Amino acid sequence: MSEFAKSTFGRCKSCEEMNKYQAHLASKRKFTSGDPITTLDDLLSQEWVMTQGRTKHIKVIRNMQMETVIRWLKAGFFCKAIRKVDVT
């Protein structure tokens, strides 16, 4: 396969660019994922939570339907958000 075909039709170039982009986003995030949250009490005691790789404030979770929150808890979608410490 030619280089033109790889860059135009193949996944090689786009996968590399996507991996670089995801690494860049990860370096800019203020939080990292911590331990999984399994109970509703533990979830509501948090200020920030990670779900599906994104940070969400607890007010967003409180405004969701209870059935959805319980389903996501059972599926293990919520993790504690741990603030990164800037070393400068």
What does the pLDDT read at residue 6? 52
Side-chain half-sphere exposure of 12, counting CA atoms within 13 A: 10
Q: What single DSSP character describes residue 66?
A: H
What does the pLDDT read at residue 69? 95
pLDDT per residue, tens digit, the chain (88 aa), is 456 555 555 556 678 888 888 888 888 888 989 999 999 999 999 999 999 888 999 999 999 999 999 999 999 999 999 998 865 4
What does the pLDDT read at residue 14? 73
What does the pLDDT read at residue 12? 64
48 burial via Cβ count (<10 Å: 0-12, 13-18, 19+) = middle
What does the pLDDT read at residue 79? 95
